[in-house]
Amino acid sequence: MSNANKASRLKRLSRIEGQVRGLSRMVEEDRYCIDIVTQIAAVRAALSRVEQDVLRDHIGHCVAHAMASGNSADQKQKIEELMEVIARSAR
């Protein structure tokens, strides 16, 4: 992972962390349920974007390297990892 990508992801995760703290305050303050649910959806969407970015980086570097290496065991492992991640994400 490049330093620029790492810094960008950490910045995005810090923002998400702030959103989650905001959700806690909303619950403590007995805010309107729909407002809380709306913010939960926003956090979920933000996490999904980070997940997609990390996965895209993984495919572009780790998986691509395994495919180019010609190492069939490494290729199989990377494919299995991707399939497991996709299956978990679909749940």
Per-residue pLDDT of 17-30, as tens digits, reads 999 999 999 999 99
Rounded average pLDDT over 66-77: 93
Q: Do 31 and 72 form a contact (C-beta atoms < 8 A)?
A: no
Rounded average pLDDT over 51-65: 92
**pLDDT given at position 2:** 76
Per-residue pLDDT of 30-51, as tens digits, reads 999 999 999 999 999 999 999 9
Looking at 3.40.50.970, 1.20.1250.20, 2.40.50.140, 1.20.58.1000, the CATH number of the domain 3-90 comes to 1.20.58.1000
Per-domain residue ranges of the chain: 3-90
**pLDDT given at position 82:** 92
**pLDDT given at position 9:** 96
| pLDDT at position 14 over 90 | yes
